[in-house]
Amino acid sequence: MAAKQKPRKQLDSLKWLESAAATKDSRPVLTAGYISNGAACAADGFRLHVVWGFKHRDNWITFKKTARDATNGRFPDVWAVIPPQNTETETAIVSVSELTQAVSIARVFAKASDDKVTLTFMSGRVYVTGSDPIDGNAQTAIQALTNRPNDLRSDFAVKAEYLIDALAGFSGHVTLRLYGNSRDVLTLGEHGDRLALLMPMIERDPKIDTRPVIDEALEARPFEPGFSVKPPAAPKVKPAKVAKAEVTETVTTDDAGMVHERIEIRRGAAAFADVKPRLTPEKNAEFQRGEAPQAAEAAAV
């Protein structure tokens, strides 16, 4: 289990948990948090925050927005919404500050889409995009340590506010993980003493179902006090392979006294070549004396 938290860090953890608690009292229990066996949880049906290291075993956490009758109910089994460790995943380790800045830029263009930004996972990069039908879109690419094949990509649409709230609980670098073939769950952290889980923004038919998947799972399995969970181990991510650049320089001289320097740079399948013609020292001397008009014309070309 994670080490017990110091008072100041515990206060920061409580503030981070509060950001994930529900603000509406349609389900009063979700306006509060719960601690069991050192793990504190808060969820609002769209996201989940978990912090390990609290000394209390079974106890409610009340916030300023907690409904009066919240503690009269039963807190749901939030761990039921965390995918199993053997679920197919896609991982990216990114800078917290860079991702936060990219999301802040993208959400400026996401007002018309209910604050929706899209994370695109690709080899060595995560792209953050916000779109507006009138103003256009903004996209930022940030470096990432990924386990992504070069020719594949995955998109995950998420509410920018929830992602920024989740990132506020981390510093340095954070592990992003997409679960399942349909990439329908995003987690942040997955090691250390904190975990955030976010559900995607999916367009659904309101006549059929308007609740997020996480809300359905919380309702399906009620929480039993005394549950014990351990923070998962840090994921092992193989860094993306980057081909080394090969530089080739070729020098040739033609009959007109021109020296052609060809520099070719090749990295994997990509290549760049540059040819620079110039006069030989002998022809250059002739040109200065006005004895090599053909070479001068060639040099001008």
d(CA 268, CA 216): 47
Question: Is pLDDT larger for residue 56 or for residue 32?
Answer: 32
Q: Quote the distance between the C-alpha of residue 83 and its chain's center.
A: 18
d(CA 185, CA 163): 13
Span 27-48, average pLDDT: 91
Q: Are 47 and 22 spatial neighbours (Cβ–Cβ below 8 Å)?
A: no
- Long-range contacts: 187-191, Cβ < 8 Å, 24+? 187/82, 190/231, 190/232, 190/234, 190/235, 191/231, 191/232, 191/233, 191/234, 191/235
Q: How confident is the model at residue 296 (pLDDT cuts 50, 70, 90)?
A: very low
Q: Which residues contact 257 (CB under 8 A, 6 or more apart)?
A: 279, 280, 282, 283, 286, 292, 295, 298
Flag whether pLDDT at 226 surpasses 50. Answer: no
Residue labelled with tokens 């000394």: 55
d(CA 292, CA 265): 33
Catalogue all structural domains in the chain, each as residue range(s) with its CATH number: 7-220 (3.70.10.10), 246-300 (no CATH)
Question: Is pLDDT larger for residue 231 or for residue 248?
Answer: 248
Q: What confidence score (pLDDT) does residue 26 get?
A: 80
Q: Find, among 125, 88, 92, 121, the residue nearest to 242 by Cα.
A: 125
Question: Is pLDDT larger for residue 127 or for residue 134?
Answer: 127
Helices (H) and strands (E) in the chain, counts: 6, 16
Q: What confidence score (pLDDT) does residue 221 get?
A: 44
d(CA 162, CA 36): 24
Using CA atoms, how far residue 245 sits from 18, 84, 151, in Å, is: 49, 41, 20
Residue labelled with tokens 């948990």: 17
Q: Find, among 21, 34, 16, 35, the residue nearest to 65 by Cα.
A: 21
Span 173-180, average pLDDT: 89
Span 185-212, average pLDDT: 71
d(CA 278, CA 291): 17
Q: Which two tokens stand for residue 229?
A: 């969970």
Q: What confidence score (pLDDT) does residue 195 get?
A: 93
The DSSP output letter for 103 is H
Which SS3 state, helix, strand or coil, does residue 56 take?
coil
Q: How confident is the model at residue 268 (pLDDT cuts 50, 70, 90)?
A: low
Radius of gyration of the chain (CA): 29
d(CA 176, CA 192): 14
Q: Which two tokens stand for residue 108?
A: 């400026």
- Tens of pLDDT, residue by residue over 56-95, are 778 899 998 899 888 888 888 888 888 776 677 888 999 9
Q: What confidence score (pLDDT) does residue 238 get?
A: 56
Q: Which residues contact 263 (CB under 8 A, 6 or more apart)?
A: 247, 248, 249, 273, 274, 275, 276
Residue 293 parent element (H or E):
helix 293-300
Flag whether pLDDT at 100 surpasses 90. Answer: yes
Q: What confidence score (pLDDT) does residue 208 get?
A: 41
Question: Is pLDDT larger for residue 145 or for residue 202?
Answer: 145
Q: How confident is the model at residue 212 (pLDDT cuts 50, 70, 90)?
A: very low
Q: Find, among 201, 181, 199, the residue nearest to 88 by Cα.
A: 181
Exposure of 145 in the CB half-sphere (CA atoms within 13 A): 11
Lowest mean pLDDT among 133-142, 154-163, 233-242: 233-242
